[in-house]
Chains A and B, each alone.
Chain A
Amino acid sequence: MKNHRIPQEVNAGSMADIAFLLLIFFLVTTSIENDAGLNRLMPSNDNEAIVDIRERNLFEISINNSDQIMAEEEIINSKILRKKVIAFIDNGGYTLGMDGYCDYCKGDRLLDLSENPDKAIISIKTQRNTSYPVYVAVQNEVIAAYNTLRNRESLRLFNTPYESIYSDYYNEEISDDQKGQLKERLEIIRALYPQKILEPETVNN
């Protein structure tokens, strides 16, 4: 007798409620983190290497205790910092025919700015009471200046912006062949405008 009975259906009416509860739990605990920031490479700790650099090849940015930004011996607004840095790196001061002449530079070729992007060094000095956000903003402007120039060269040489080459390179879905090619391109552009940012130890005075 019992064998003939129809199997009982499980009531699935509360399924939605259970799923909703779980959903709400995950909604509450979720924090979609995607960290991003400014990557920097610090110099290693041996201070043995001393290199002579010409004054014209050094672009000094200092931020004082009251967060004023000084570049090239005058207090400047942060908005024109990027322009000044670009003008400095892209100056290409060597004259035509000289060893190290920068044929891709589009700067004004002034005598008091850098000789060649490869020689251009930017130094960022801070004091102990400088605010961190101001420092980050200055770093950001300097990196932006390099990125602008790299973008320009990348568009000229490969017809693609530097950022897209960079982001494609770190994309895992591309093949090894493409990766090799992208790496080559990245290296070419980086060699044109190498990032040289100095951060001397803070001096208290």
Chain B
Amino acid sequence: MIKFNKYRSSKSLPPVSTASLPDIVFILLFFFMTVTVMKNQNLLVENTLPTATETEKLDKKDRVIEIYVGKPTAEAKANLGDEPRIQMDNKYITVGEVGDYALQALSSMPEHLKSVATVSIKADIGVKMGIIEDLKSELRMVNLLKINYTTYEGAAVDNL
């Protein structure tokens, strides 16, 4: 009978070198370091966005003013109840204050971005149109007309 592995069988396998393991890990580390975006807002409201298919990307963060709308989160519910609230700048605000806060956010932007500033409305799926309409008329009052209904990517019929 032919013995195929007559050389190998006599010796034990050499150990796998782990010398390159740190390099692999470092590459992964750098990848995650570069793509990471640290959250700068603590969500105080529930925020499950609706879905839509015809979306456009909002990739430039420096010209976006974010407004969150939704029911208060579970911890705050005991004090604040179930009514949808508006969150800007890490705190709850009323509909009437939206204009002020939006202008404040706008004034902190560099001059050349002010004309292209977009308001991103991140409203929860449980929200009714009443508060959204109020919000929109407040934004119209301060002449912020570019808005974006921020959504997840997905079939819009899932909303119904």
Which residues does chain B contribute within 8 Å of A42, judged by CB atoms? 136, 139-140, 145-147
Rounded to whole angstroms, the CA-CA distance of A33 and B53 in the bound complex is 17
Q: Say whether A73 faces chain B, with CB atoms less than 8 Å apart.
A: no
Interface bracket on B: 35 or more
Q: How far is the CA of A119 from the CA of B139 in the complex (A)?
A: 27
A residues contacting B by CB (< 8 A) are 12, 15-16, 19-20, 22-23, 26-27, 29-45, 63, 67, 78-79, 126-137, 139-141, 143-144, 147, 170, 199, 201-202
Give complex CA distance A36, B120 in Å.
Answer: 9
B160 → A minimal CB distance (Å): 6
> A135, B37: Cβ atoms under 8 Å?
no
Contact (Cβ within 8 A) B58 A35: yes
Q: Is the interface of A mostly helix, strand, loop or mixed?
A: mixed
A29 to B33 alpha-carbon distance, docked (Å): 10
Instruction: Please state if A44 and B143 are interface contacts (CB–CB under 8 Å).
Output: yes
A136 touches B50 (CB 8 A): yes
Q: Which residue of A lies closest to B36 (CB)?
A: A30
Q: A128-B133, A202-B129 are in contact. Are A40 and B29 (CB under 8 A)?
A: no
30 CB contacts below 8 A, A to B, read A19-B26, A23-B25, A29-B36, A30-B32, A32-B37, A34-B59, A35-B120, A35-B150, A37-B55, A37-B151, A38-B54, A38-B148, A38-B149, A40-B148, A41-B147, A45-B143, A128-B128, A128-B129, A132-B50, A132-B123, A132-B126, A133-B50, A133-B51, A133-B125, A136-B151, A139-B149, A140-B54, A143-B54, A201-B133, A201-B137
